[in-house]
Amino acid sequence: MYSLLFKSFFRTKIFLVSLVLLMSIGVISILIGKQYLVKQEKTIVAAQEFQEESIKRNVEYHNDDLGLLLYYLRFTLIKKPTNISAISIGQSDVNPLLQTVTIRGLEGQKYDTDFENPSLLMSGNLDLGFVIIYLFPLILIAMTFNLYSEEKELGTWKILAAQTSGKASFLFKKLIVRIGFVFAILIFLMFLASAILQLQLDQNFWAIFLQSILYLLFWSALCFWMISLLKSSSFNALALISVWVVLTILIPALVNNYVINAYQVPEALDAMVEQRDGYHKKWDLEKGATMTGFYEVYPQYKNYEVPEDKFSWIWYYGMQHNGDLAAKETSAEMKEKIMLRNTVSENVALFVPTMHAQLSFNHLAGTDMLNHLNFLDALTEFHENLRLGFYTKIFDNNTADAVDWTNHKVKFYTSKRDFSWLYLVLPTILITLLIGILGTINVGKL
């Protein structure tokens, strides 16, 4: 029976169209991911070369004044890229891969990013995750919406039903053939991506693989349930496309609109302005008042003299740090609101398989917003270590020769992408089982 069904399916136009479409767009998405990784590699090499050349050049010009030298020098922290991020680029095209900072106030530098074409950002990236979430369900719909209704409308259903022992079994086998084809393409593309993108077959890869399988199982069950209603082809097609629009576009847009308005985040510009105001206003205050906040945080520097009648680097960098202290509350509020947005989105996604798959892909690939927030926390620690490593030498009026510049290469941050297997698979499995049971009950009435 299956061999006949496969032969019949392979002769249809929808088979050839689906094969060409899925394979061509799937391969293109993998190549786009490869291009993304190449761009990251070039950026990292350029950053390493720039920092090395910048230190060498500035040390030559400002060797006698370490405080002035470090006013200009920038140091780079890079979020160590993982090849699996090419499967789901997520928000990494908006959030920077690296940050270069001076030892001056951090809040004015923390949210610097590259300029990007807004039109490209709006359209998003055609990565493999996008193809799986948006295109594969459409192909499933196109291949299954008229499995029963076409036979009924052409008047061949009674003949087919008479030639088979079970009508429901026959319908189910036809569905399995088409679903099996789509799954075969998915599995092929996933392993092709692992080869082209040189992915490690670690638990994150298998988690994405499993989430992709479960996601397509959900859509297969949904198509099966729609077929089981025994409606016309036009009804099935319209209903399934409507569900696809609701699940992939409408609900995510509504959730995004809700969290944006319910948890309004202070703009990064606010923190930058507060940092600048907190720094610039200190020029008009007595130096002793300026240093009070700095000494509260770093009492180890109280023994350094701060002359009232002339410029000193301890006073200047104390002002810079006071600017960060002034913006600390806004910065913390912004992070808290972003975390709340993410939590609400994840909770809603438990009941919306499309959102759950997208958020899972981004998290497993390390391209979600929480991963970027962790990177900013690492940047704060990186900046703190830089300042404390240089402060004593600056305040002691040392020259640049007092610093071992070979220790100041580009630093890398390795992101953590822990996840729960239960949280990953259970929501989609439960929804799929529920829809599948409803479809089975309906088909049993044939």
pLDDT in tens, 204-234: 999 999 999 999 999 999 999 998 888 888 8
Over 80: is that where the pLDDT of 105 sits? Answer: yes
Residue 371 is classified by DSSP as H
User: Looking at the predicted structure, is the pLDDT value of residue 446 above 70?
Assistant: no
Return the structure tokens found at 166. Answer: 């079970």
Task: Supply the pLDDT for residue 435.
Answer: 95
HSE of 431 in the Cβ direction (CA atoms, 13 Å)? 20
Lowest-confidence pick of 107-111, 116-120, 123-127, 241-245: 116-120
C-alpha–C-alpha distance, residues 115 and 103, integer Å: 23
Q: How far apart are CA 141 and CA 244, in angstroms?
A: 9
Stretch 309-321: mean pLDDT: 85
Report the pLDDT value the prediction gives residue 153, as an integer from 0 to 100: 58
- Structure confidence at residue 437 (pLDDT): 93
Note whether 410 and 355 are within 8 A (CB).
Answer: no
Residue-level pLDDT at 410:
94
Decide: 79 and 375 in contact? Cβ < 8 Å: yes
Q: Please give the mean pLDDT across all residues of the chain.
A: 85
* Residue among 29, 5, 2 at smallest CA distance from 136: 29
Residue 1 has pLDDT above 70, yes or no: no
Tell me: the pLDDT tens digits for 174-209? 888 889 999 999 999 999 999 999 999 999 999 999
pLDDT tens digit sequence for 382-421: 999 999 999 999 999 899 999 999 999 999 998 887 889 9
What three-state secondary structure class fits 100? strand
**pLDDT average, residue stretch 329-343:** 86
Whether 87 contacts 365, CB under 8 Å: yes
Running DSSP on this structure, what letter comes out for residue 283? Answer: G
Give the span between the Cα atoms of 204 and 191, in whole angstroms.
Answer: 14
What is the band of 154 on the pLDDT scale with cuts at 50, 70, 90?
A: low
pLDDT number for residue 411: 94
- Angle, helices 353-365 vs 203-228, to 10°: value is 170
Q: Which of 32, 44, 39, 115 is nearest to 79 (CA)?
A: 44
Check if the beta carbon of residue 426 is closer than 8 Å to that of residue 212: no
117: confidence class by pLDDT, cuts 50, 70, 90: very low
**Bridge partners, residue 39, by sequence:** none
pLDDT of the residue at 409: 92
Q: Is the pLDDT of residue 238 over 90?
A: yes
48-52, 321-325, 365-369: segment of lowest average pLDDT: 321-325
Tell me the average pLDDT across 96-120. Answer: 74
> Once rounded to an integer, what is the mean pLDDT over residues 154-183?
73
User: SS3 of 285, please?
Assistant: coil
pLDDT tens sequence across 278-312: 545 555 567 777 788 888 889 999 888 888 778 88
More confident residue, 290 or 247: 247
Helix (H, G, I), strand (E, B) or coil at 278: helix
Per-residue pLDDT averaged across 104-123, rounded?
64
What integer is the mean pLDDT of 262-271?
66
User: Which residues are 78's β-sheet partners?
Assistant: 98, 412
Predicted local distance difference test score (pLDDT) of residue 281: 57
| Tokens representing residue 384 in the block | 């703190």
